[in-house]
Structure 1
Amino acid sequence: MSSFVFNVTRHAPELLPPAEQTPYEFKELSDIDDQDGLRFHIPSFLIYEHSGDQNDPVMVIKKAVAKALVSYYPFAGRLREKEGRKLVVECNGEGIIFIEANANANLKIFGYPLLPPFPCLDELLWHVPGSTDILDAPLMLIQVTRFKCGGFIFALQYNHTMADAQGIMLFLNAVAEHASGAQSLSTPPVWQRHLLNARKPPHVKFQHREYEEVLAETNDTLIPVNDLVDKSFFFGPKQIAALRRLIPPHQKASTFEILSACLWRCRTIALQLHPQQLVRFMCIVNSRNLFNPPLPPGYYGNGFAFPVALSTVSKLSRNPIGYSLNLIQQAKSAVTEEYMKSVADFMVLNGRPRFSTSISSFIVSDVTRSGSDNLDLGWGSPVYGGPAKGGVGAVPGISSFYIPFKNVNGEKGIVVPLCLPANAMEIFVKEINGLLGSVLNSPNKGHGSSILISSL
């Protein structure tokens, strides 16, 4: 995969403004939006096998995006920073970056199934100079690349301070509805970022350990950015059922919880940290329905928290999976409306800090219910829809996603892209396959490759 190349011919990037004139105004982001750790751009891919002979996907998507920007006009603006690092959008209608491109290959060159990490990522999502800046820069970049087979890739990167996974899907659904000819949206966008602003006066009620750095005395948690490896792992019904057998029968757990408990433990062992090093698992918890009343359905700002499960390496590595599972469940249950207000208050009182970014931290976002795998732009559902890779963010190697996926046998499950130092990745593969082998009685116990499905 590392030598995988093909040529992409790109038209000059252009600024795509809203299809109609939009209000000129300034809109403040919420105090959840503008925390330092969200000041980066997230890359995502939507891959469609056949565009047919009737409509050009580039033109259809370009027109639909321009229409969607009329309702979502803040995306066409630029971020400015006020006193106290408060972010505000100047809604000036300048537009997003749009790139039309053609590839001299068929989609089958990627192999099957299509999944991250994608080779030639920079060709399919070109980083126009300045496009990943946070202030005074476009808030979104879209590149649509046609392939010789008639398929195409809709690649997107967006400024995370503007929206979370659910928020960007609201925008993409608007694009899909306009592409189908709709003149109005089924779920109109809602700004109302004040709903997640700090109180006056701020009053922090929780410890918020997600914003603490916990480094070992040896400072061995710095990430070797020149030695990172990307691999993807598939967990289908058989693997998930096997992992459930690792916990007591009476213990209830969601698929997210049991998978996270196992991955956190195996990743920790793989990193070979000091036994007394503190490691943390931070899970993305959507708070929209935790408010009373819930946040409006069209709210597209960041509406999540990432509470912390904390343990020493020794305890996490030596205890049964039920230990890490309990810690994760306790962390998730801590998120309430009051918790979200406390996070916003914490931001204002502490200079909008970054969350923990040492490699001893592991952040997971579950996007299996986002709907990206069903987004129909006029050519049916994509063969892949989701993040372009794991390890995204200001500091690579600490984050991952749970992405809906169908393997070569047609089994629906979850694909997990991970980014780790090369040596740690080798250990992780042995640990997770050994864990599965211990309950599946696999003849390849400890050396199986049934869940490792891609590497780059």
Structure 2
Amino acid sequence: MEAFQTTTINALIVERSVPVAILPEQETPGGSLFLSNIDRVSAFYLPMVYSFGRSDARTVDVIKKALSRVLIHYYPLAGRLAKNSQGKLTVDCEKKLGVPFVEASANCDIEDLGDMRFLDCNVLRKLVYRDSTDNIQEVAPLLTAQVTKFRCEGFTVGITFNHCMFDGTSVMNFMNSWAEIARGSRPLSLIPCHKRTILKSRAPPQITGTSDSFVQASDVSDLKALYEEEQIVWRSFHFDNEKLATLKKMATTDGQIISSCSNFEAIAALVWRARTIALKMKPHQLLKLLFPVDFRSKMKPPMPRYIGNAVVEACCLCTAGELIDEPISFTVGRIQEAIERVNEDYVRSWIDSLDVHQFDLLSLTSLALASWQRFDYGSTDFGWGKPRTFGTGDLPGGCLFMADGSDRKGIVVVLGLPLLAMNTFEKLVQLEG
């Protein structure tokens, strides 16, 4: 098992231009864009950084012009959030304030940044532009973009976006469309669907089958104090093909519960158990494993072009004692059952539940997993080759699964824990012996 730590480069100097507001190249619809309950609970910002090995004098200008053109299709991004008469978030598409775009240059080579799958916050904030109005909902941009050129002629494209506009699949579709236009490809291979009312909640709510996700688990293990008292460290762990095969063999023979499983299911079970042990949770501590399931293909009719948040959280609920004592195959079985429960009725019930219950994704008694391992970031070629790396660095909590490079040979797991717990966790996921 290979563990990576984030690289801190305090000497990194990035000079930025004044932000320029990029508007759609043509006139676009006005009015108000409905946001679903899933969108509304996702109203926080996420950064992403793509790195590329070469550029030329035209790079920044081509990418900037392509952004203006792709916003014709993704016009709500040029608007701003607002509240309707019921006090619920919408997007005001009349308020065309645009997408802030920044040109920048760095004083080093891209290689000097180290592992760019998960960036140190000091590096990340220099490669991704955060607008000063981010905390003012009605004027904060829904997307920002920064292109940074490096001494080696490589460059990065850094964005930050309001999660209420995109889930992972949607943001990848947007980035790939932006890159298609930069390369001169016409028409777009995927025209987005903005009709979010198809995920409108029902009146009255009809709630069945999602109760575990909304269970409030008291912090009887006093994890809050642990996280406040100790330094929180972030590390990433590489599971290559050999380790994945070993883990899946363990998961399918230990306990004779299941006959097959996916890489995600096997690693999720291992990480959940190891984190629980490392944090020394009390046996009667109620805990949850939460992970998003994309439901586009599960709806009738399917909704492949939907641009918005089309994921719900699948949930496994048990006590720490149950999790630690059971064979890993049983834990994998819990995860498989949670995935199987996600059908159209589950989705509709989940959306309705958000009208009635509060969903706490950041509870320390829950492990929230996000999987980016299937995202097609390798197609985001602006005309100077496929990205060398794709990463983030701003995870409020939980755990992230990422593909190990564009060749996808393995999976990288990123998470943060108090220092002593992290040292224990690292030993527990070695899979040695």
Q: TM-score, normalised by structure 2?
A: 0.92
Secondary structure, in 3 states, of the residue corresponding to 1:348? coil
Determine if the alignment matches structure 1 residue 424 to structure 2 residue 421: yes
Alignment of 1:114-193 (within 5 A): 114-118=116-120, 120-131=123-134, 133-193=136-196
Contact 2:66 2:179 (C-alpha < 8 Å) held by counterparts: yes
Q: Deviations over 1:127-166 (max 9, x none)?
A: 2312365443110111111001110111111101111001
Query: Residue by residue, what CA displacement relative to the aligned partner does 1:233-257 show, whole Å, maximum 9, x if unpaired?
Result: 1111011011012123452111110
Alignment of 1:35-434 (within 5 A): 35=41, 38-51=42-55, 53=56, 55-91=57-93, 92-111=95-114, 114-118=116-120, 120-131=123-134, 133-217=136-220, 219-221=222-224, 223-224=227-228, 227-249=231-253, 251-295=259-303, 297-350=304-357, 353-386=358-391, 388-389=392-393, 392=395, 396-397=396-397, 399-406=398-405, 412-433=409-430
Check conservation: 2:221, 2:281, Cα contact below 8 A: no
Deviation (angstroms), 1:120: 1.3
SS at match of 2:176: helix
1:10-34 CA-to-partner distances (Å, cap 9, x unmatched) read 1112221112221221111112211
Aligned-pair CA distance for 1:76: 0.6
Q: How much does 1:293 deviate?
A: 1.0
What secondary structure is seen at the aligned counterpart in 1 of 2:72?
A: helix
Q: What residue in structure 1 maps to residue 3 of structure 2? A: none
Deviates more, 1:307-316 or 1:283-292: 307-316
Structure 1 stretches of 4+ moved >6 Å: none
Instruction: Decide which moves more: 69-78 or 192-201.
Output: 192-201
The CA deviation at 1:220 is 3.2
Contact conserved, 2:210 with 2:350, CA < 8 A, in 1? Answer: no
Question: C-alpha distance in 2, partners of 1:418/1:122?
Answer: 19
Residues 69-95 of structure 1, C-alpha deviation per residue, up to 9 Å, x if partnerless?
111100110011224442111003211
Report SS of the residue matched to 2:39: coil
Partner SS for 2:172: helix
- Structure 2: unaligned runs, 5 residues or longer: 1-6
Contact 1:215–1:358 at 8 Å: present in 2 too? no
Assess if the C-alpha contact under 8 Å between 2:362 and 2:368 holds in 1. Answer: no
Once the two structures are TM-superposed, the CA of residue 348 in structure 1 deviates from its matched residue by 2.0
How big is the shift at 1:400? 2.2
CA 1:190–1:237: 2 relative to 1, 3 Å:
same
Contact 1:40 1:134 in 2 (8 A): no
Alpha-carbon distance in 2 for matches of 1:231, 1:58:
33
CA distance in 2, matches of 1:187, 1:76: 19
What CA distance in whole angstroms lies between the structure 1 residues aligned with 2:11 and 2:415? 22
Confirm or deny that 1:33 pairs with 2:55: no
- Aligned amino acid, residue 364 of structure 2: I
The one-letter amino acid of 1:138's match is P
Pairwise CA RMSD: 2.0
Report the TM-score when normalising by structure 1.
0.87
Alpha-carbon distance change, 90 to 411 in structure 1, aligned in 2, over 3 angstroms: closer
- Number of equivalent positions: 420
**Partner in structure 1 of residue 432 of structure 2:** 437
**Shift in alpha-carbon separation, 1:6–1:356, aligned structure 2, 3 A:** closer
Deviations 1:196-230 (A, max 9, x none): 11123321112433233311346434643972211
SS in 2 for 1:157: strand
CA distance in 2, matches of 1:162, 1:207: 24
Q: CA deviation at 1:60?
A: 1.4
Query: Which residue identity does 1:231 align to in structure 2?
Result: R
Q: Is the CA contact 1:77–1:93 (under 8 Å) kept in the aligned structure 2?
A: yes
Aligned in 2, Cα 1:248/1:169: closer, same or farther, shift over 3 Å? closer
Mapped contact 2:49–2:127 kept (Cα < 8 A)? no
